[in-house]
Amino acid sequence: MFNTHHHRLCLASYVVAMWFIAGAPATPAQTPAASNHVASALVPSLSVEQNCGCRRSEGGYPCKGGCQKCMMGVDCADNCGAESRWRDMRPIALDNYGPGGYAGPSRYAHLGEYRLRPGDQLQIIYLITRRQETGEYRLAPGDEVLIESVADTDLDRGSLERGLVVQPDGTITVRLVGQVQAKGLTVPQLRKVLEEKYKDLYDEPSIDVTPVKVNTLAEDIRNAVGGASGLQQQALNITVMPDGKIRLPGIGGICVQGFSLGELKREINLRYGELVVGLETEPILSQQAPHFVHVLGQVGQPARVELQGPTTVLGAIAAAGGHLPGANLRQVVVFRRAEDWRLISTMLDLQGAIYGKRPTPADEIWLRDNDVVIVPARPIEVLDNWIDQVFTRGIYGVVPVGLLNNNNN
């Protein structure tokens, strides 16, 4: 009886399963159009960019599972700024980024505004805009003009292909008059000057001045930067010198130490604006000057450590091979040069942090460029070294121990 009933149940289950596999008959509501609509909804459109995962934590680990860790920790923002202790632990988000923690979070910017210093490498990009913001264009040496006269065509000088060149001394030479100062004059002003000079010879000279080639100084600066062919990049790669200056074509030396990039751009463009029209520059910091701290004393590898990012005292000690067993971590000294190069220093107690006693040590400070970190030896180490030098290598090194014992006897 049991076996027959069991076989009937198995047969019924098999039929139901095959019905699901083969698919139930379409109902009136499940028309082919409706089926296509459902299929199109299930298949993502190729034109829409798909997400790489869920997005429950903005900027952080996108896919949180159902078994989240309840992490306990200490936040230095607690206790009104006072140094926290391990008894102050509370639930805290320590694993919010999951496996993406190596890349996030972005944190705040290292500096509010970067200031230039000797050794920084800059790229100055030159752009000829050919526009003048205010006033009329004034002729400069190298510019070319066409001078024509309705009264006498013999007074014509230059052509539309090659005009009369303003000489380096700022003058042009015209017929019957000779040299005329043109530098610093607008085209209408030059026409008026020539009219006045020719009125002594003609009742109505009817002089006309046409600019043929202008703003040649900008072209000269461009050629000095990128070559006359114009095929090379119109930029200069320069390094801030130890005196805090850079030198640029046409304007010479500029003191840039302490400038932001925005201030440097304004300064360069103002300098060029006094000489030439329609020339703009854009400074770019291509590489910072290297930043170093010096770590010495009771560390594994005393050395100069390069700062490639924000670094604390413990980070620098770790980069120098870590502390030795004989290190006095209660009296770590940091020598620092202030903005005016005066010497300032502090003494730090890092032993509690190294031994895991202090979760937010106040003495774990950020290092600056050119800091000197000294990890001294413990007093017992100092005493041991003194004994070794005075007795082992000193008295006992000169007078044998056996001889001293004989003298005592």
d(CA 350, CA 330): 6
- Banded model confidence at residue 41, pLDDT cuts 50, 70, 90: very low
State the pLDDT at residue 71.
83
153: CB partners within 8 A, 6+ apart: none
Q: Which of 16-25, 73-82, 144-153, 302-311 has the highest mean pLDDT?
A: 302-311
**Residue 49: is its pLDDT beyond 50?**
yes
Determine if the pTM surpasses 0.95: no
d(CA 282, CA 129): 13
State the pLDDT at residue 151.
85
**Residue 313: is its pLDDT beyond 90?**
yes
Tens of pLDDT, residue by residue over 393-406, are 655 555 555 555 55
- Banded model confidence at residue 132, pLDDT cuts 50, 70, 90: confident
- Banded model confidence at residue 17, pLDDT cuts 50, 70, 90: very low
Q: What separation in angstroms does the CA of 239 have from each of 259, 292, 305?
A: 14, 18, 23
**397/255: higher pLDDT:** 255
Tens of pLDDT, residue by residue over 256-270, are 999 999 999 999 999
Q: Which whole number is the average pLDDT over 366-394?
A: 77
Cβ atoms of 72 and 91 within 8 Å: the answer is yes
The closest alpha carbon to 210, from 139, 286, 106, belongs to 139
Strands, E, within 258-331: which ranges? 279-287, 292-297, 303-306
Tens of pLDDT, residue by residue over 198-220, are 888 888 888 999 999 888 888 78
Q: Cα-flanking dihedrals φ and ψ of residue 73, to 5°? A: -165, -175
